[in-house]
Amino acid sequence: MCKVAAVTGGSRGIGFGIVKQFASEGYKVGILDINAEEDYRKNLDQLDAMGAEYFYMQGDTREQKDREAFVAMLVERFGGIDVLVNNAGVAPKVRMDLLDMTEESFDRVVGTNLKGTMFMSQLVAKQMLKQPMKGSKRGTIVNIGSASATVSSSNRCEYCVAKAGVVMLTNVFAERLAGDGIMVHEIRPGVIDTDMTKVVHEKYTKLIAEGQFPIARWGTPEDVASVVSLVCDDRYVYTTGNYIDVDGGFHIRRL
């Protein structure tokens, strides 16, 4: 049975890795992304080469009209939504000390990483509730969190706060929707090699070399995408509201 996935922020990085994973499994995929489609044509050409069935909409998850237009388009084109991956996220444009952080930066980061996740989940959950059960569940919502939800960085407080909020969003949506057969999970990446981490690449490469990560390499978007695929599987039905670290073991406390 063909499934339909909605992926926010799917033009590049982790989001695009997830889109490719779903496409390889035969999903139909809707991509909502703030970037212009032509700017990531090389990535989308990969989907075309795979024979993927997808569509791309440029829009901002912070904006109600964009969220509603995307969901309406996805349902009209593919008939429903089985999976939502809330991946859209931004880092501060400039890392600033907590005492210097601006309201503008806070609003932008929290608006995308937390508000967008909240209201996209709300909208898609309502759509899923209109749909019949498929096998043992009605749908799956996956939130892409971050190790920064629990690891303090005082020079990017807004990012840490937003990702900490995603932890609770996962819990409250999971509790509310479990009885309706909709499972909700958080995937918590660590240091993943993407455009977002280019500015700290040297720093984390040094930490990896020093043994701070038990799995001594950078993570890849494909590493994250594989775990997203796992929790969306029809056999993954007796757990909800949980998170999985995809961080090379960085979360392990060691003496």
Spatial distance between the Cα atoms of 74 and 80, rounded to a whole number of angstroms: 7
pLDDT in tens, 6-30: 999 999 999 999 999 999 999 999 9
pLDDT of the residue at 36: 95
- Whether 253 maps to a domain, the answer reads no
Q: CATH no. for residue 210? A: 3.40.50.720
In tens, the pLDDT along 159-184 reads: 999 999 999 999 999 999 999 999 99
Q: Write the pLDDT tens digit of every residue in 76-125.
A: 999 999 999 999 999 999 999 999 999 999 999 999 999 999 999 999 99
Cα separation of 3 and 153, whole Å?
38
Residue at 112 is within a domain: yes
Backbone angles phi, psi at 214, to 5 degrees: -55, -40
Catalytic residue among 27, 54, 56, 159: 159
Residue 252 within any structural domain of the chain: no
Residue 251, domain member (yes or no): no
Considering its fold, how many domains does the chain have in total? 1
DSSP character at residue 92: -
In sequence order, the 6+-apart residues with CB closer than 8 A to the CB of 178 are 240, 241
Q: Looking at residue 29, what DSSP letter applies?
A: E
Asked if residue 85 belongs to a domain, the reply is yes
Decide if 40 is catalytic: no
> What is the span of the domain harbouring residue 180?
4-245
The per-residue DSSP string of 140-180 comes to: EEEEE--GGGTS--TTSHHHHHHHHHHHHHHHHHHHHHGGG
Angstrom distance (rounded) from CA 214 to CA 211: 7
| Residue 255 belongs to a domain | no
The Cα 229–Cα 26 span in angstroms is 12
Domain membership of residue 101 (yes or no) is: yes
